[in-house]
Amino acid sequence: MTIPQCCACFSDCLIQTGLDAQTFDSPEVFLDYAREHAITLVVLDFSMPVKNGIEVQKQLRELSPRTSVVMITGREEPATRALALQGGAFRISSQAV
């Protein structure tokens, strides 16, 4: 399954539970959206093009400090987990690679 397919599947699951969910094809597009819209929860992948999830989380904190963040990562390094938690993520989930 490709990354866009995974995003669409995850989004569909959230929508089926009655939540409003959107996917974005780049960190910049998401951050532009976040500047104009209230976001309650965001799921970020650590590995993204141009910026990693930690960088996006940091910029999101500046725009929307109350947004909850779940970080997913294929990395098992404790340093990655620590960076996400220090940046305000309330959950880090490892994904199979």
Interatomic CA distance for residues 32 and 51, integer angstroms: 14
Contacts of residue 69, defined as CB under 8 A and 6 or more positions apart, other chains included, come to 41, 42, 43, 44, 57, 60, 84, 87, 88, 89, 90
For each of the chain's 97 residues, which pLDDT tens digit applies?
Answer: 676 777 788 788 888 998 888 888 889 999 999 999 999 999 888 887 788 888 999 999 999 999 999 888 877 778 877 888 788 887 777 765 4
- The whole-model pTM stands at 0.79
- CA 93 from chain centre, in angstroms, equals 11
Q: What angle do the packed helices 53-63 and 27-36 form, to 10 degrees?
A: 10
User: Helix, strand, coil: what percent of the chain each, to 5?
Assistant: 45, 15, 40
Domains of the chain: 22-94 (3.40.50.2300)
